[in-house]
Amino acid sequence: MSDDGRHSPRARDGRAPDVFRPGGWVSMKEYSDHEAVDFVIVGTGAGGATLACKLAEYGFSVVALDAGPYFRPLEDFASDESEQTKLYWTDDRIVDGDNPLQLGSNNSGKAVGGSTVHFAMVSLRFRPEWFKARTKLGYGADWPIDWREMWAYYTEVEQALKISGPVNYPWGPPRPRYPYRAHPLNAAARALARGCEALGIGWTETPLATLSAPRGLAHPCVYRGFCVTGCSTNAKQSALVTWIPRALSAGAEIRDLAMVGRIETDANGLAVGVHYHRQDKWRFQRARNVVVAGYAIETPRLLLNSATDKFPSGLANSSGLVGKNLMAQANQAVWGEMDEEVRSYKGPPSLAITEHWNYEDDGKDFFGGYAYMSQGPLPQLWANTQATAHGLWGARLVQEMKRYNHVVGLKIVGEMLPQENNRVTLADERDQYGLRIPRVTYSWCDNDRRLIDHSIAFMSRALSAIHAKNIWVQEDDTCHLNGTARMGDRPDSSVVNADCRSWDIPNLWICDGSVFPTVGGANPSLTIQAIACRTADRIRALSRLGEVNLN
Amino acid sequence: MLAASVLADSAVEHYRGSFKNKAMLTPLIVAGLTLAMSLHGTADRRPMAHQARDASYLSAAVTGLLGTGFHIYNVTKKVGGLSWQNVFYGAPLGAPMAILLSGLLGFCSERVRANGGRRRHRVFNLPAGETVATVTALGLLGTSGEAGLLHFRGAFHNPLMALPVTLPPIGAGLLAGAVVNGGARPRGLARWWMRLLVGMGFAGVGFHAYGVSRNMGGWRNWSQNILNGPPLPAPPSFAGLALAGLAALELMREARNA
C-alpha cells in the first residue's frame, strides 16, 4: 500500500496507528456522533493534543479532531523536502497588508500532532516579565496568569517531552534541570558561540524537544538534520509521539482527516457540538464542551464561520477581538561564508542560542526582545532563499550553491507587538469544503522595524567577529503566529479568561497560541503546551465545583 | 584485562575520530604492547622481572599521563572551554588514566614476580598488597567518575546506569579499609565485593549491547551504532580493576600469614 494516510482515515474501527512500530496499531476507544462527549477538541497540535491527553487522563470523555492525516513517522517520512511539504497547511488563504505573511511552511501544520510534527523543537520558557508586559515593561498587554504558576507548568511539559537542555540555563530565574542533557554542538552552533564570546554576551545549548538518550521505543537523535521536514526516527518529541499516544491509552478518541467547519450553538447560547467533514460527508459530533485549538488562523476562522443570528459577528466575539491582534514573530537572518567547512545542515538546525536580547533591556530603542539561533537550512530551502531573498539566478546561483557547505547563519525569533489591524477575517472565496477562507492582514509597526534593525546590526557584527565573508541580510521572514483570541481579565478587552474559557459561551474553550496577549522573543510551543496543562487542571478543578457543563 | 579494555575502547573511539591526529594511534600501540607483554608475562614461568615488560608497562603509564594532557588540551581549546558540553562530547578527560593504571598494575605485578617466592612482596619498598590495593581503589574511583559523567550525559535514563557509580566507590572504600586495617580484620566482604565488580564489568557489556540496540536501526545498523551507542569495551575495565583488587587482597593475606 502506498497510502500514507492522506486519502482515507487511519484512526477508525477501534484502532489508531502505533507510531512506534511499523505497521502496528494501538486500540482506541470510539464514540458515536450522537453520543455527547464531555469535550470535543478541534485540532491536535501543541494545544489540542496536550489538552486531550490531560483531560482524558482526568477521566473526561474526549474526542479530538484533526483536518490532517495520521502519519507514521517511521514509514511515511522521506529525506526529501518536496515530499514533506505534505505536513504543511497549504489550503487557500488570502494574505494582504503592508507585509503580507508567507503562509504554509514554518507557520502551519496539517497533521495529527499539528505543526509540532515539523517544528524546530526549540523549547523555551518565556521571560517572567513578559506575562506582565504592559505593567512591567510598558508595551502590549498583561497576561492574566502569574509567571510563577507558569514556571510549574513549564516544568511539567519539559518532563513530558524529555527536553534536552543545558545543565545550567544562563538567563532568568532558576529552573529545574532539563530531563535530558544537551546535544553535541555542530559547527554552525559553535560559530554562534564564538560570535557571542567575541561580542561579550552569553550563549548556551538550545533546549530542544529531541532525545539525547533513548526513551521507551523512541531512539535518540541520529543528527539526520531533516527536523523541520518531519523526524523519521521519532527522536523528535512532537505531540504525535508524546501526548497523542498518552491520550489514546487514557481513552481519548482521535479522528484524522476530520475538518471542522462549524460549531453548533443552541437557543440558550451554549455550544452543543461541531459539524465536521470526514470520508466525503458532513457529520455532527455532539459534545458538552467544545475546545477550539486550530492555531492563530484556523481558530478565529472557525469562530467567525460559526456565526448565528444570536452571535452575528461570530462566536465568543462580544469584545470584537476575535481575529484581531495577530502576532507573527520576526525571523530575519544574517548569512555568511566561512573558509572552513561548516555543513550546517548536520543535526538539529538550532543547537545554540542566545537569549541575551530577551533579558537585557539596556541599549534597546524598541519594546520587546529577540533570541537568535544557529541555522541549518536544507538544500532546497537554501536554493530558494538564494533565489528569492538574495536575488541570485543562473550561474551566480549555481556558484553560490557550491559554497553551501561553508554557509553559516544566525536567525532571530523576534517579538512583534499586538496591533488590532493585524487580523484574520473571512474572505468571500470558499475552499474545498465549501467554507469561507481566511484573509490574513499583516503590517509591521515602527517598533517591529526597530527591533528587526537592531537584530540585523547585532548579528552582522557577530558574523564579522568570527571572520565570516560575503555577509548578507535576509530581511523579510516571519515564523510562529499567535494572538487572534487573546486571554485577559475583562470580557470587553479579551476573548477568553485565564482558564482559556470564552467569556460569552461558558462551554466554549480556546486552547492554542491564539490566546497569547503578547508573543515575546521565544518560540511559543512550550508555552502553548504549558497553557494547555494549566487549562486541564483548571477544568478539573472547576468541574469539581460543578462549574463545567457535564450534563 | 584493563589493557584489553583500553585497547578496544580507544580503538573504537579514535577510529570514530578518524585518527585525525597521528598521536591518536599511540594508545592503541601502547595498550596493544601492554596486553602483549602481560600475556607474555603470564606465559613466562620464570619468576623474575623482564626488562621489556617493565619498559612497556612504564611507557603505558607515561602514555596515560600524556594522553590526559592531550585530552585536557582538546577540551579546553573548544569554544566554551571547560564546560559541560565539552566535557561530555570532547575527548574524555578520565579515559587515558586507564592506560596509566594498566601500566602501574603491570609494573607492580613485575615487582611481585621479581620477589620470587618471598611472602612479603614489596613495590618501591612499599608492601605490595597495600600498594596494589591503593592503586586499584584510586582506579575504581576514577573509572567510576568517568562512568558517572557519561551516564549523567545519558541522563541516567535507565536506573541500572546508577550501578557503576555506586558499587565501585564502595569497593574502593572496602579496599582502603583493608589497607588501613593492615589486614587485621577479615576481608571477606572486600573479596566478595571485588567479585561482584568483576560480574558488573562483564554484565555492563550486556547492558551496553542493549543500549546499542536502542539506537536507530539497532544491531542491524551495527557499524554506526557501535560507534554511536554506549561503548561496549568500557565496562570490563571495572572487571580488570576488581581482579587487581582481588590479587591485592591475596597479597595482603599472604603477607599477614608469612
CA proximity to A257, closest of A20, A432, A26, A79: A432
What is the tens place of the pLDDT at every residue in B13-56? 777 777 777 778 888 888 888 888 788 887 877 777 788 888 88
Q: Is B225 exposed, middle or buried (0-12, 13-18, 19+ CB in 10 A)?
A: buried
Give how many domains chain B has, as a whole number: 2
Q: What pLDDT is stored for residue B183 in this prediction?
A: 60
B89 touches chain A (CB under 8 A): yes
Contacts with B212 (C-beta within 8 Å, 6 or more apart), sequence order: B218, B219, B222, B225, B226, B228, B229, B230, B232
Residue A277 pairs with which residues in a beta bridge? Answer: A259, A282
Q: What pLDDT is stored for residue A1 in this prediction?
A: 45
- Surface of A (203-222) touching B: CB under 8 A: 205, 212-215, 219-220, 222
Chain A partners within 8 Å of B78 (Cβ): 190
Where in chain A are the domains? 15-544
Question: Of B117, B144, B168, which one is at a domain's C-terminal end?
Answer: B117
Please say whether the beta carbons of A138 and A185 come within 8 A: no
The residue with greater pLDDT, B105 or B125, is B105
Same-domain pairing of B58 and B107: yes
The residue with greater pLDDT, B99 or A98, is A98
What is the tens place of the pLDDT at every residue in B73-90? 988 999 999 899 999 998
Question: Of B117, B146, B179, which one is at a domain's C-terminal end?
Answer: B117
What is the tens place of the pLDDT at every residue in A115-161? 999 999 999 999 999 999 999 999 999 999 999 999 999 999 999 99
- SS3 call for A185: coil
Q: What pLDDT is stored for residue B8 in this prediction?
A: 75
A223, A225, A226, A227 alpha-carbon torsion, rounded to 10°: 70
Q: Is B191 exposed, middle or buried (0-12, 13-18, 19+ CB in 10 A)?
A: middle
Question: Of B92, B117, B142, which one is at a domain's C-terminal end?
Answer: B117
Same-domain pairing of B91 and B200: no
Same-domain pairing of B88 and B165: no
- SS3 call for A266: coil
3-state helix, strand, coil in chain A (%, to 5): 25, 20, 50
Nearest residue of chain A to residue B224 (CA atoms): A222
> Of all residues in chain B, what percent carry a pLDDT higher than 90?
44
> Of all residues in chain A, what percent carry a pLDDT higher than 90?
98
Same-domain pairing of B4 and B22: yes
**Which among B88, B155, B215 has the least Cβ separation from residue A219?**
B215
Q: What pLDDT is stored for residue B27 in this prediction?
A: 81
> Of all residues in chain A, what percent carry a pLDDT higher than 70?
100
What is the tens place of the pLDDT at every residue in A180-223? 999 999 999 999 999 999 999 999 999 999 999 999 999 999 99
What is the tens place of the pLDDT at every residue in A470-491? 999 999 889 999 999 999 999 9
Chain B partners within 8 Å of A179 (Cβ): 155
B155 touches chain A (CB under 8 A): yes
Contacts with A183 (C-beta within 8 Å, 6 or more apart), sequence order: A164, A205, A208, A210, A212, A221, A223, A347, A348, A351
β-strands A436-441, A370-374: how paired? unpaired
Same-domain pairing of B111 and B173: no
Same-domain pairing of B69 and B144: no
Which CATH number is associated with domain A15-544? 3.50.50.60
Task: Say yes or no to pLDDT of A249 above 70.
Answer: yes
ipTM here: 0.90
Helix H or strand E segment including A278: strand A271-278
The DSSP string of A107-176 is T---STTGGGGSS--B--PPPGGGGBIIIIISSS-B-SS-HHHHHHHHHHHHHHTT-EE-SS--SSS--P
Segment A379-387 shows an average pLDDT of: 94
Same-domain pairing of B31 and B128: no
- The H-assigned helical ranges of B17-127 are 26-43, 51-77, 84-89, 96-114
Best residue in A196, A206, A219 for a mutation probing chain B (most B CBs within 10 Å): A219
Residue with the three cell numbers 444570536: A310
Segment A256-264 shows an average pLDDT of: 98
Mean pLDDT, chain B, whole residue set: 87
Task: Say yes or no to pLDDT of B5 above 80.
Answer: no
Task: Say yes or no to pLDDT of A69 above 60.
Answer: yes
Subunit contact A222:B215, Cβ cutoff 8 A = yes
Same-domain pairing of B9 and B100: yes
Q: What pLDDT is stored for residue B59 in this prediction?
A: 87
**DSSP assignment, residue B27?**
H
> Of all residues in chain B, what percent carry a pLDDT higher than 70?
95
Chain A partners within 8 Å of B85 (Cβ): 166, 182, 184-185, 205
Task: Say yes or no to pLDDT of A77 above 80.
Answer: yes
The residue with greater pLDDT, B254 or A436, is A436
Confidence grade of residue B126 (pLDDT, cut at 50, 70, 90): confident
- The H-assigned helical ranges of A316-355 are none
**DSSP assignment, residue B24?**
G
pTM of the entire structure?
0.95
Mean pLDDT, chain A, whole residue set: 96
Residue with the three cell numbers 493585524: A422
Q: What pLDDT is stored for residue B122 in this prediction?
A: 73
Residue with the three cell numbers 620477589: B115
The residue with greater pLDDT, A451 or B71, is A451
Same-domain pairing of B25 and B146: no
**Which among B80, B153, B228 has the least Cβ separation from residue A181?**
B153
Chain B nearest C-alpha distance from A79 (Å): 15
Least confident of A121-135, A506-520, A529-543, B103-117: B103-117
Q: What pLDDT is stored for residue B118 in this prediction?
A: 62
- SS3 call for B162: helix
- Domain holding B109, by residue range, is 1-117
CA proximity to A152, closest of A135, A169, A174: A174
CB-facing half-sphere around the CA of B92: CA atoms within 13 A: 24
**Which among A215, A219, A222 has the least Cβ separation from residue B157?**
A215
The residue with greater pLDDT, A18 or B251, is A18
* CA dist B168 → A63, A488, B96, B165 (Å): 52, 57, 19, 6
Please say whether the beta carbons of A201 and A459 come within 8 A: no
- SS3 call for A91: coil
Subunit contact B85:A182, Cβ cutoff 8 A = yes
Segment A319-327 shows an average pLDDT of: 98
Best residue in A222, A233, A408 for a mutation probing chain B (most B CBs within 10 Å): A222
Same-domain pairing of B135 and B32: no
Nearest residue of chain A to residue B213 (CA atoms): A219
